[in-house]
Amino acid sequence: MECFRSVGASALDSMRRAVLVDAGAEAALPERYGIIGESEPMRRVFELLDRMIKSDYPALVTGESGTGKELVARAFHFHGPRCGKVFLSENCAAIPETLLESILFGHSKGAFTGAHKENPGHFVAADKGTLFLDEIGD
């Protein structure tokens, strides 16, 4: 039994050291708007965000899947003039095509089977805030 305690304590100590190393490495990375990066393309993204945040115009954020579009949208929202308003994020690829229109634009009670109450839709719900539509091309 003592052997197991010793091995367990050693493993726990190793895990604590690994966590400290990871925390130290993360703290050394440059971060802006909650986004980590220091490459030239990331510097351009930060410069663009700096300009976008000063405006209240709609923005279209495009890019390959997994490139951080939602991070950019959140930075634009939470560091700009819309920060006190709602931020809605919807993964369009996860919504059945038959429900997409209803979810985005809303529906009346009884408009279809299962519509037990009125739903204004995401565009109305996000009024004056931000509506982030992810995977809209899928």
Total number of domains in the chain: 3
* pLDDT for 24: 53
* pLDDT for 3: 38
Judge if 90 and 55 occupy the same domain: no
* DSSP tag of 67: S
Containing domain of residue 64, as a range?
33-83
The owner of tokens 């899928």 is 138
* pLDDT for 26: 53
Judge if 78 and 103 occupy the same domain: no
**Average pLDDT, consecutive stretches of 10 residues, N- to C-terminus, the chain (138 residues):** 43 48 55 87 92 89 90 93 94 91 91 86 94 87
Q: How far apart are CA 133 and CA 92, in angstroms?
A: 6
Judge if 110 and 74 occupy the same domain: no
Q: How far apart are CA 68 and CA 25, in angstroms?
A: 21
Judge if 136 and 97 occupy the same domain: yes
* pLDDT for 124: 95
Structure tokens at 44: 């351009």
Q: How far apart are CA 137 and CA 75, in angstroms?
A: 22
Judge if 26 and 63 occupy the same domain: no
* pLDDT for 27: 56
Q: How far apart are CA 56 and CA 87, in angstroms?
A: 14
Judge if 90 and 64 occupy the same domain: no
Judge if 97 and 122 occupy the same domain: yes
